[in-house]
């Protein structure tokens, strides 16, 4: 019996964790049997956390934390020096030391730092952006717009009296990847969030987040002075409105002295805004910015605007915002979605980036998978964000925001692999030059596989590949070659390219985007069409405008191409479309096979969870392919190539 037991123990050591997992520990799964010596300059809430984390997890050399100014370090930066068998960690701020603690633990999990045998070394880290912020689209009734992982974490009814343990766990997870700010509520904002009652609740959360270096921000409703204050207008130039916001800012900062500022969705999808009063976005943003200025607060003003006019939707943000360049106060940042339409599986970057040289800009990525299969589909998004940074220089941006994918689900994000997107967002916000591959490796080694176990290497390699290919697979089975917005009406999950809702806005219909007809398919945004290509810098404009040079992945974004158009592969457009859809399906099936190989290496709970979601994904991929190809075939009049799996 004893022998059997030790054999079992040996096997479990070799194969890794086989115990039940609750999935809630994210990438912070380190064992807690460490015993290194940690020295700290003083006691404080933040330093106590840093020490606690290191004492629990750090198994390497003794660590001394030192608070010190250093010309090469920004306020949250840090330096780790290994000299004579000791580590000295310096930073100008306590938060910097906390980040260093998490960095050390991460490196330990990666098996590449802090082991006594190694020679002296040094690491210097500075975040690329001062503001690395999550946007929660959480409503006050705890529903989440485009949320697929349960309800909102914020239990407004119980706050501020009852404080869930998850609030601190949330702050810890964010701090561990360098996220330092959060907008708690939906951009489709209720004015109630600014009531005295709710500000007390917000304060309770801010108090929990503060030691972790996280500041709280709120989305505001531009009509709050009317809805909450009883004024007859919300005109940003009206003196009572100005006074109302000034008073509100004072009240907020009295309650939460380090409050970060406002996020605003104005005159977009029915939300109120300055244009309702014939004022510009700049006038609206500046009025709020002036109210927050005395307290160093900022305004993040979204550029996600479009209306059912004749102008191509993809052009509208640029048309409306570019002329306002130079008119915004210096504590306003214009927040722009990565693409010109709306978080599609693939879009070219928004040409508004770089087009307002005198205005601070920030990018908004969507971590939640509104258009990428919710929490059913495995889609690692870092390659998409990396693609964005191929076009937009990180240094041209002031800050970075991500729409959160977090909810009350035990594993936080629904799909176990969706955690990787939260993780990747934080890591890229800290350092946008990290590659998506490196981040995936980091995440896998901290979640599923043990870097110190050579037996894990081959399977970790396969799963890493699966992650890296996953977003492109979604593009292929949903909307290859620059197609976009083929989603079903009402939700954004399945395909409905034929959708036609009488009386609905034309720009909410898939046919507005794909424009399939007997001749071909795609949206002509070249000079012969909407001329959206002209919004791009010259060299890109030329590249995209000419159907002969436009890259395949954007072809149907910029061109209405004939079905017989010759693609870069030499195939006709129709054949290529069929191959791409089919390839997407085959890819998901290959993910299923790869994942099955992981069974003996990871815990049963997460294994089965991912396995069953991949099954759904494979079924959905076939659904997308069949729906789209059968529909487009009505226009092309051609059959799918023989090798392509056809619908039965």
DSSP 496-519: -TT---TTS-GGGSHHHHH---SS
* Opening angle at CA 385, ends 468 and 550, nearest 5: 90
Radius of gyration from C-alpha coordinates of the chain: 26
Q: Of the residues 342, 387, 552, 645, which is catalytic?
A: 342
Which residue's CB is nearer to ligand GCW, number 267 or number 572? 267
Q: What residue ranges bind ligand GCW (CB under 6 A)? A: 137, 145-146, 187-188, 265, 269, 304, 342-343, 370
Reduce the DSSP state of residue 376 to 3 states and report it.
coil
User: Do the bridges between strand 399-403 and strand 181-183 make them parallel or antiparallel, or are there none, so unpaired?
Assistant: unpaired
Q: If residue 80 lies in a helix (H) or strand (E), which one and from where to where?
A: strand 78-83
370 is catalytic: yes
CB 499 within 8 A of CB 489: yes
User: How near is the Cβ of 187 to ligand GCW at its closest, in Å?
Assistant: 5
Q: Of the residues 269, 330, 517, 599, which is catalytic?
A: 269
Determine the angle formed by the axes of helices 281-292 and 239-255, rounding to 10 degrees: 40
User: How near is the Cβ of 346 to ligand GCW at its closest, in Å?
Assistant: 15
Which residue's CB is nearer to ligand GCW, number 342 or number 387? 342
**Nearest CA among 198, 158, 148 for reference residue 493:** 148
Query: Nearest to ligand GCW by Cβ — which residue?
Result: 342
Which residue's CB is nearer to ligand GCW, number 366 or number 636? 366
Which residue's CB is nearer to ligand GCW, number 218 or number 578? 218
CB 299 within 8 A of CB 289: yes
For the chain, the maximum distance between any two Cα atoms, rounded to a whole number of angstroms, is 83
Q: Of the residues 370, 409, 476, 620, which is catalytic?
A: 370
Which residue's CB is nearer to ligand GCW, number 370 or number 469? 370
User: How near is the Cβ of 304 to ligand GCW at its closest, in Å?
Assistant: 5
197 is catalytic: no
Residue 273's alpha-carbon distances to 155, 223, 331, in angstroms, are: 29, 7, 19
Q: If residue 581 lies in a helix (H) or strand (E), which one and from where to where?
A: helix 573-597
User: How near is the Cβ of 46 to ligand GCW at its closest, in Å?
Assistant: 33
Q: What are 164's two structure tokens?
A: 């869930």
342 is catalytic: yes
E strands in 176-303: 181-183, 215-220, 261-264, 298-302
Which residue's CB is nearer to ligand GCW, number 187 or number 252? 187
CB 399 within 8 A of CB 417: no
**What is the distance of C-alpha 551 from the center of its chain?**
25
CA pair distance 57, 31, nearest whole angstrom: 6
* Opening angle at CA 226, ends 222 and 231, nearest 5: 130
Which residue's CB is nearer to ligand GCW, number 366 or number 376? 366
Reduce the DSSP state of residue 221 to 3 states and report it.
coil
CA pair distance 400, 361, nearest whole angstrom: 9
Which residue's CB is nearer to ligand GCW, number 144 or number 459? 144
Residue with tokens 């076009």: 391
Reduce the DSSP state of residue 86 to 3 states and report it.
strand
Calculate the CA dihedral of residues 248, 254, 258, 264 and round it to 10 degrees. Answer: -10
User: How near is the Cβ of 605 to ligand GCW at its closest, in Å?
Assistant: 31
CA pair distance 122, 94, nearest whole angstrom: 19
User: Do the bridges between strand 78-83 and strand 121-125 make them parallel or antiparallel, or are there none, so unpaired?
Assistant: antiparallel
User: How near is the Cβ of 265 to ligand GCW at its closest, in Å?
Assistant: 5
Q: Residue 217: phi, psi to the nearest 5?
A: -125, 160
**Nearest CA among 560, 272, 537 for reference residue 391:** 537
User: How near is the Cβ of 439 to ligand GCW at its closest, in Å?
Assistant: 25
Which residue's CB is nearer to ligand GCW, number 491 or number 542? 491
CB 66 within 8 A of CB 39: no
Which residue's CB is nearer to ligand GCW, number 145 or number 553? 145
Annotated active-site positions, please? 269, 342, 370
């Amino acid at each position: 019996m004893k022998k059997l037991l030790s054999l079992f123990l040996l096997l479990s050591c070799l194969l890794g964790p086989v115990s039940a997992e609750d999935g809630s520990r994210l990438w912070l799964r380190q064992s807690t049997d460490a015993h290194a010596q940690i020295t700290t300059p003083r006691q404080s809430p933040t330093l106590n956390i840093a020490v606690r984390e290191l004492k629990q997890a750090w198994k390497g050399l003794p660590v001394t934390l030192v608070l010190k100014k250093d010309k090469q370090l920004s306020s949250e930066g840090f330096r780790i020096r290994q000299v004579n068998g000791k580590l000295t960690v310096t930073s100008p701020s306590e938060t910097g030391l906390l980040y260093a603690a998490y960095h050390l633990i991460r490196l330990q999990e990666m098996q590449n730092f802090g082991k006594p045998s190694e020679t002296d070394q040094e690491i210097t880290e500075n975040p690329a952006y001062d503001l690395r912020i999550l946007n929660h689209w959480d409503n006050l009734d705890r529903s989440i717009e485009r949320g697929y992982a349960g309800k909102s974490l914020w239990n407004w009814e119980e706050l501020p009296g009852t404080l869930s343990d998850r609030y601190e766990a949330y702050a810890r997870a964010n701090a561990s990847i360098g996220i330092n700010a959060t907008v708690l509520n939906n951009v489709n904002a209720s004015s109630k969030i600014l009531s005295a009652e709710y500000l007390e609740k917000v304060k309770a959360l801010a108090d929990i987040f503060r030691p972790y270096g996280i500041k709280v921000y709120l989305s505001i409703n531009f009509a709050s002075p009317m809805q909450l204050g009883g004024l007859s207008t919300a005109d940003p130039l009206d003196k009572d409105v100005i006074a109302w916001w000034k008073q509100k800012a004072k009240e907020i900062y009295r309650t939460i002295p380090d409050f970060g500022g406002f996020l605003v969705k104005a005159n977009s999808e029915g939300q109120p805004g300055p244009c309702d009063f014939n004022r510009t976005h700049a006038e609206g943003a500046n009025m709020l910015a002036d109210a927050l200025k005395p307290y160093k607060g900022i305004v993040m003003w979204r550029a996600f605007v479009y209306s059912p006019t004749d102008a191509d939707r993809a052009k509208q943000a640029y048309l409306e915002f570019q002329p306002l360049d130079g008119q915004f106060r210096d504590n306003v940042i214009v927040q722009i979605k990565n693409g010109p339409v709306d978080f599609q599986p693939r879009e070219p970057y928004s040409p508004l980036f770089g087009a307002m040289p005198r205005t601070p800009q920030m990018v908004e990525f969507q971590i939640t998978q509104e258009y990428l299969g919710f929490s059913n589909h495995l889609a690692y998004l870092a390659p998409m964000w990396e693609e964005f940074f191929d076009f937009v220089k990180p240094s041209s941006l002031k800050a970075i925001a991500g729409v959160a994918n977090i909810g009350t689900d035990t594993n936080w994000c629904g799909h176990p692999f969706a955690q990787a997107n939260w993780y990747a967002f934080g890591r890229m916000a800290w350092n946008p030059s990290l590659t998506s591959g490196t981040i995936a490796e980091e995440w896998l080694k901290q979640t599923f596989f043990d870097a110190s176990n050579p037996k894990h290497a081959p399977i970790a390699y396969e799963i890493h590949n699966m992650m890296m290919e996953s977003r492109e697979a979604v593009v292929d089975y949903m909307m290859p070659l620059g197609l976009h917005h083929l989603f079903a009406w009402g939700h954004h999950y399945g395909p409905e390219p034929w959708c036609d809702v009488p009386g609905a806005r034309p720009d909410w219909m898939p046919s507005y985007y794909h424009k399939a007809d007997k001749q071909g398919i795609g949206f002509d945004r070249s000079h012969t069409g909407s001329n959206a290509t002209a919004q791009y810098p010259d060299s890109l404009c030329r590249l995209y405008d000419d159907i002969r040079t436009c890259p395949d992945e954007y072809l149907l974004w910029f061109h209405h191409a004939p079905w017989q158009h010759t693609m870069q592969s030499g195939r006709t457009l129709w054949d290529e479309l069929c191959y791409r859809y089919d390839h997407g399906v085959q890819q998901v099936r290959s993910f299923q096979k790869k994942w099955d190989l992981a069974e003996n290496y990871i815990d049963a709970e997460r294994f089965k969870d991912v396995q069953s979601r991949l099954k759904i994904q494979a079924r959905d991929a076939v659904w997308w392919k069949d729906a789209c190809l059968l529909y487009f075939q009505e226009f092309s009049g051609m059959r799918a190539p023989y090798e392509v799996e056809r619908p039965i």
